[in-house]
A and B are shown apart, each in its own frame.
Chain A
Amino acid sequence: MCDRYGAWAGCMDTVLKLDNLTKHYGPVQALDDVSLSIGPGVTGLLGPNGAGKTTLVKVLLGLVRITRGSGQVLGYDLRRQVRSIRHRVGFMPEDDCYMTGLPGVEMVRYLARLSGLPSVEALRRAHEILDYCGIEQERYRPVETYSTGMRQKLKFAQAIVHDPPLLILDEPTSGLDPEEREAMLGRVRALARRAGKAVLVSTHILPDVQAICDSVVILAQGRVRIVERLDVLSRPAAPAFHVRVFGRPEALAQRIRSEGLDVHQAADGTLTVANAEQSVADRIWSWARAVGVGIRALRPTQNSLEEIFLQAVREDDRAHP
């Protein structure tokens, strides 16, 4: 159990652990025997609509009761220690939530006070966090006048104002322009890497996951399909390389084939050298020099997250039509 409120790093190896967790809404089974364990770092929570992501987040916050199973968040029991969990979790909801009538800084201060920060300290901290989130003079305007992007930043600010060791972010980049999106992802990355926060990001935007996540959880129809580190998932079953060249790729392809390796040429000229170990990479350079073509790019192939996601969801559809 982590007694500290703020920094997480080094406190425990497991941020959250769920065992056979099931949640029914009447006849609808939102979560079905979910068992998973998540460690520090940034974890992406992926799944199609209705997969149970929002229910899982609500379960973690103790907002809905578990039908069956058990779980721990930061070492606190999901059923009995909800208040302790909420002290240590910062939640950024997907919904457009705000408190009408309050200026931005007052809203962040209010929520800081609800997390137990003393009045004056809550105001100081609210200003500090709004600075960090890039909300400047707009902080004195009522929140109902904010644009979608501003509200998104405000929701992020209120999630971190009480310095929680675990952040649960539901669609953090939704409604942000490209520049703000990049800034938001940078903040999440910095909080995880420098401030030692554990972060659970629920999102549909796969490039966001690839940009910031260390691990991925894929849910489909209330069941966990994949829990794995992103670098492990991205690694193909058999190592291969993608090669893009200046000049005629056919000549290089023929030379590689003559060395007994399997090579495919895509319509855009990219060559895929299958079943190739790392040592082959050095030899490809020399073969290219020999046939008189220049190498523009040579990189190991990776499984795309999109393919992994679609495959996981389709497998689940086939298994449970």
Chain B
Amino acid sequence: MPIHDLGYRSWQGQRDPGIARLWVVAQTDARLAWQSRWLRRMLLVAWLPAVYLGLAFFLFEQALTQPTALRMAAEFLGQFPQSEVVGEALQTEDRAQARHQVWSWLLLTFFRYPQGLLMALVVGLVAPRLIARDVQSRAFLLYFSRPLARLEYLLGKLLVVCGYVMMITTLPALALYGVGVFLSPPEFDVVASTWDLPLRILAASAVLMIPTATLALAFSSLTTRTVYAGFAWFAYWVLGLVSYVMLVTSVDKLDSETWVLLSLYHTLGRVQHWIFGIPLSLGGQTSFSDVLAPAALLAGMAVVSLMVLFRRISSPMRI
């Protein structure tokens, strides 16, 4: 018995408002996820592409102001997919328009290629255990005997996944934009011509986060074993990607836009192209009608996942 034990004492203090519960759930689970050494390493690695693309911003800005740097910039930027965007942009007289186009393309490249894959890994490390662990340890009765709504619980869990995804997508992308502004000539025109890019970054992050986080959490809620939830997430991701790539490369005259919905990676990519205003092919247009099917699939995926989540969270209470 501790020497300072005073028996039971009542507690009378000011309670936190209801909205704080959601934050408490998110904070605690984020802290638990942070204990994973692999996750910490992953987050560190996830910033390396941003550093590399920061160099691309630097060289492009150099090319705009110093024609001698054009060749080096062209060589460096030429290694990225759809680099013809740079040539097209540099042909225009309007420097602001060229900057907007190339920055959008660089940010799309950042979201689409390195972060698209890293995001799958980070979500796969964080999300599977979030609800599966509570199902396994039957913690729902502890949660919901408190003044915590099921929606708050769910939003708290979603915040954890979204928070980690933002750490590897939104934050470095905004940092890249900041680097671009910092390296460009100190003119108001630069910000005026690119003000929409931070908003596009936020939109692209939301498109990336919401369907993937809800889907991964839905997998997590369907099992008591974290490993199964993780396997389901990676299996869906990899099988879709491989199937689509195999179909496109092996079948002649295949309508790739129809089959793109097979692959979550490519579906997300289509919508991100539209968000950043970069057409899939040189000279093409980006209109919402082109991404209607991918956008509908992602929205449907989020809605169905949320329905599964609500049902699974409520099921222990139905017994």
Q: Which residues of A contact B (CB under 8 A)?
A: 4-7, 25, 58, 61, 63-64, 83-84, 86-87, 89, 91, 93, 95-102, 106, 110-111, 113-118, 121, 125, 128, 131-132, 134, 136, 144, 158, 160, 162-163, 187, 190-191, 194-195
A136 to B3 CA separation, bound complex (whole angstroms): 12
With both beta carbons as reference points, the residue of chain B lying nearest to A134 in the complex is identified as B1
A93 to B147 CA separation, bound complex (whole angstroms): 16
In the assembled complex, how far is the CB of residue B150 from the closest CB belonging to chain A, in whole angstroms?
A: 10
In the assembled complex, how far is the CB of residue A220 from the closest CB belonging to chain B, in whole angstroms?
A: 20
With both beta carbons as reference points, the residue of chain A lying nearest to B1 in the complex is identified as A134
- 17 A–B pairs (Cβ distance < 8 Å), ordered by A: A61-B145, A63-B141, A63-B145, A95-B138, A96-B137, A99-B133, A99-B142, A100-B137, A101-B32, A111-B146, A113-B20, A114-B143, A128-B6, A132-B5, A132-B8, A187-B8, A191-B8
Contacts of A95 in B (CB 8 A): 138, 141
Contacts of B11 in A (CB 8 A): 5-6, 117, 125, 162-163
Q: Cβ of B15 and Cβ of A25 under 8 Å apart?
A: no
Contacts of B6 in A (CB 8 A): 128
A231 to B139 CA separation, bound complex (whole angstroms): 38
A134 to B133 CA separation, bound complex (whole angstroms): 27
Q: Cβ of B15 and Cβ of A116 under 8 Å apart?
A: yes
Give chain B interface residues in 144-201, CB to chain A under 8 Å: 144-149
Q: Decide yes or no: A131 and B4 within 8 Å by CB, A93-B141, A101-B32 being known contacts.
A: yes
Contacts of A121 in B (CB 8 A): 13
Q: Is the interface of B mostly helix, strand, loop or mixed?
A: loop
With both beta carbons as reference points, the residue of chain A lying nearest to B24 in the complex is identified as A113
Give chain B interface residues in 1-27, CB to chain A under 8 Å: 1-2, 4-18, 20-21, 24-25
Interface residue? B317 (CB, 8 A)? yes
Interface residue? B41 (CB, 8 A)? no
In the assembled complex, how far is the CB of residue A102 from the closest CB belonging to chain B, in whole angstroms?
A: 7
Q: Cβ of B16 and Cβ of A116 under 8 Å apart?
A: yes
Contacts of B256 in A (CB 8 A): none
In the assembled complex, how far is the CB of residue A86 from the closest CB belonging to chain B, in whole angstroms?
A: 4
Contacts of B10 in A (CB 8 A): 6-7, 163, 195
Contacts of B148 in A (CB 8 A): 86, 114
In the assembled complex, how far is the CB of residue A5 from the closest CB belonging to chain B, in whole angstroms?
A: 7
Q: Cβ of A144 and Cβ of B137 under 8 Å apart?
A: yes
A121 to B15 CA separation, bound complex (whole angstroms): 10
A102 to B32 CA separation, bound complex (whole angstroms): 8
Interface residue? B35 (CB, 8 A)? yes
Q: Report which of A4, A89, A97, A117 forms a contact with B141, defined as CB distance below 8 A.
A: A97
A84 to B137 CA separation, bound complex (whole angstroms): 26
A63 to B317 CA separation, bound complex (whole angstroms): 6
Contacts of B317 in A (CB 8 A): 58, 63-64
Q: Decide yes or no: A100 and B136 within 8 Å by CB, A163-B10, A195-B10 being known contacts.
A: yes
Q: Cβ of A93 and Cβ of B142 under 8 Å apart?
A: yes
With both beta carbons as reference points, the residue of chain B lying nearest to A30 in the complex is identified as B319
- Can you add 14 more A-B contacts, CB < 8 Å, to A99-B139, A118-B15, A132-B7? A95-B138, A110-B28, A111-B142, A114-B21, A115-B146, A116-B147, A117-B16, A118-B13, A118-B14, A128-B6, A131-B4, A132-B5, A132-B8, A194-B8
Contacts of B140 in A (CB 8 A): 97
Q: Cβ of B141 and Cβ of A114 under 8 Å apart?
A: no
Contacts of A163 in B (CB 8 A): 10-12
With both beta carbons as reference points, the residue of chain A lying nearest to B136 in the complex is identified as A100
Contacts of A115 in B (CB 8 A): 15, 146-147
With both beta carbons as reference points, the residue of chain A lying nearest to B145 in the complex is identified as A91
**Contact pattern, B 222-246, Cβ under 8 Å of A = 1, otherwise 0:** 0000000000000000000000000
A101 to B28 CA separation, bound complex (whole angstroms): 10
Contacts of A4 in B (CB 8 A): 12
Contacts of B133 in A (CB 8 A): 99-101
A137 to B163 CA separation, bound complex (whole angstroms): 34
A89 to B147 CA separation, bound complex (whole angstroms): 10
A5 to B11 CA separation, bound complex (whole angstroms): 9
Contacts of B145 in A (CB 8 A): 61, 63, 86, 89, 91, 93
Q: Cβ of A128 and Cβ of B16 under 8 Å apart?
A: no
Contacts of A83 in B (CB 8 A): 18, 147, 149
In the assembled complex, how far is the CB of residue B227 from the closest CB belonging to chain A, in whole angstroms?
A: 14
Contacts of A86 in B (CB 8 A): 145-148
In the assembled complex, how far is the CB of residue B124 from the closest CB belonging to chain A, in whole angstroms?
A: 18
With both beta carbons as reference points, the residue of chain B lying nearest to A106 in the complex is identified as B28
A7 to B10 CA separation, bound complex (whole angstroms): 7
Which of B28, B134, B138, B148 counts the most A-chain CB atoms under 10 A from its CB?
A: B28
A95 to B18 CA separation, bound complex (whole angstroms): 27
Q: Cβ of A158 and Cβ of B142 under 8 Å apart?
A: yes
Q: Cβ of A128 and Cβ of B9 under 8 Å apart?
A: yes
Give chain B interface residues in 109-138, CB to chain A under 8 Å: 133-134, 136-138
Q: Cβ of A131 and Cβ of B5 under 8 Å apart?
A: yes
A13 to B17 CA separation, bound complex (whole angstroms): 29
In the assembled complex, how far is the CB of residue A95 from the closest CB belonging to chain B, in whole angstroms?
A: 5
Q: Cβ of A6 and Cβ of B12 under 8 Å apart?
A: yes
With both beta carbons as reference points, the residue of chain B lying nearest to A136 in the complex is identified as B2
Contacts of B4 in A (CB 8 A): 131
Contacts of A131 in B (CB 8 A): 2, 4-5
Q: Cβ of A117 and Cβ of B15 under 8 Å apart?
A: yes
Contacts of A102 in B (CB 8 A): 28, 32
Q: Report which of A61, A99, A191 forms a contact with B134, defined as CB distance below 8 A.
A: A99
Contacts of A114 in B (CB 8 A): 21, 24-25, 143, 146-148
